[in-house]
Amino acid sequence: MFKNRLLLFRQISDQLKNMTKGSKPLPDISSIKLNHKLVDIGCNLGHPSFKHDLEEVLQRANQAGVEKIMITGPNVSGSKEICELSRSKPGLFYFTAGVHPHEAKEFDNNTLSEISKLLKEPHCVASGECGLDYNRMFSTKDEQLICFEEQLKLACEFKKPLFLHEREAHEDMVRLLTKYQEQLPPAVIHCFTGTAEEAKQYISMGLYIGLTGFLAKDKSDNGVQHALKNRIIPLNRLMIETDAPYMFCNIGNKKLKQIKEKMSEEAKALHKYSSFERNEPCAMAAIVEVIAHFMGESVEKVAEETSRNSKLVFGLE
């Protein structure tokens, strides 16, 4: 996995160099400053691709109207690293502490002890990223189920909101959440990629839904686009995130042509600094406009209500 990450980092570095050397120079965004006050609830700023230009990335995020960023913890060592990173910018950075289902095979009793320490940090606002991923299966089902249930118990003990990962594991996710429903703290299904019916069930359980740029490539008849258009995901249960450097919002998708034409020039200009190779928090400006279009709401209302949800659930000041 380390080799894969190193290769990805090199590819991203090459892409960033090409962005400045290519035939299509990036737009001048120096005069842009949106006032959305957005909260990016899921951003992997601990990723190696952000190490060389983090300040520039944060400047663009600020121009896109991003007011707060939650940095997600993938495992014990990664959670420790972002704990330190989050201390560097109080009021802007917060972090989550947990073990991603991909890393479940490494889970042991010492893991619980280390995560417990991190959950006590004042700028740790959620337990996770934890959950189940039956799509890629980097850890077995049994390993994932044990790892997830132990973290559920921990979140209930610490009364920390849950930052949940679920991919093609809806039934087991519902079963385990229901088992602890009486003690369960507030929770969000981060980077939701499921069906409208699955979203409806999660919402009926009191959960929030986190949406990323995935919604731009949703090709299903009953996925996130359908759920937004038909208000199956209501504004009072919605949060927004980039999952950067992943989940690029491809506004160049032919099916989004009408949305792109109506999108603000500021959001489009900022969005050019994100790509399939490396998504950035500044993509929040485009994501909020795409969501507003599907819901038939103003961008201002979507920005305000989703940010309010995030601040309320995670106690962001």
* pLDDT the model gives residue 19: 47
Beta strand 162-167 pairing with 187-190? parallel
Segment 146-169 shows an average pLDDT of: 97
Residues 41-65: tens digit of each pLDDT: 999 999 999 999 999 999 999 999 9
The verdict on residue 40 lying in a domain is: yes
Residues 198-213: tens digit of each pLDDT: 999 999 999 999 999 9
Residue 57's domain is classified under what CATH number? 3.20.20.140
The verdict on residue 157 lying in a domain is: yes
Q: What is the CA radius of gyration of the chain?
A: 19
The verdict on residue 15 lying in a domain is: no
The verdict on residue 7 lying in a domain is: no
CB-count exposure of residue 273 (10 Å: 0-12, 13-18, 19+): buried
The verdict on residue 285 lying in a domain is: yes
24 pLDDT tier (thresholds 50, 70, 90):
confident
255 pLDDT tier (thresholds 50, 70, 90):
confident
Question: Quick count: other Cβ atoms within 10 Å of Cβ 146?
Answer: 14
Segment 263-285 shows an average pLDDT of: 97
22 pLDDT tier (thresholds 50, 70, 90):
very low
Question: Does 2 score more than 50 pLDDT?
Answer: no
Question: Does 17 score more than 50 pLDDT?
Answer: no
Question: Does 224 score more than 90 pLDDT?
Answer: yes
Please give the Cα distance from 164 to 251 (Å, whole number): 26
Question: Does 3 score more than 80 pLDDT?
Answer: no
The verdict on residue 23 lying in a domain is: no
Question: Does 300 score more than 90 pLDDT?
Answer: yes
Percent of the chain with pLDDT over 70: 93
Q: Is residue 165 marked as binding? A: yes
219 pLDDT tier (thresholds 50, 70, 90):
confident
* pLDDT the model gives residue 193: 97
Mean residue pLDDT of the chain comes to: 93
State the total domains in the chain. 1
Percent of the chain with pLDDT over 90: 89
Tokens of 218: 């949703």
Please give the Cα distance from 292 to 300 (Å, whole number): 9
Segment 15-34 shows an average pLDDT of: 72
> Comparing C-alpha atoms, which of 130, 125, 171, 169 is closest to residue 149?
130
Q: Is residue 170 marked as binding? A: no
Question: Does 11 score more than 70 pLDDT?
Answer: no
Residues 102-124: tens digit of each pLDDT: 999 999 989 999 999 999 999 99
Question: Does 166 score more than 90 pLDDT?
Answer: yes
Segment 128-156 shows an average pLDDT of: 97
Segment 250-264 shows an average pLDDT of: 92
Q: Is residue 84 marked as binding? A: no
Question: Quick count: other Cβ atoms within 10 Å of Cβ 126?
Answer: 31
Query: Which residue range forms the structural domain that includes residue 220?
Result: 33-314
The verdict on residue 24 lying in a domain is: no
Q: Is residue 243 marked as binding? A: yes
The verdict on residue 158 lying in a domain is: yes
Segment 252-263 shows an average pLDDT of: 91
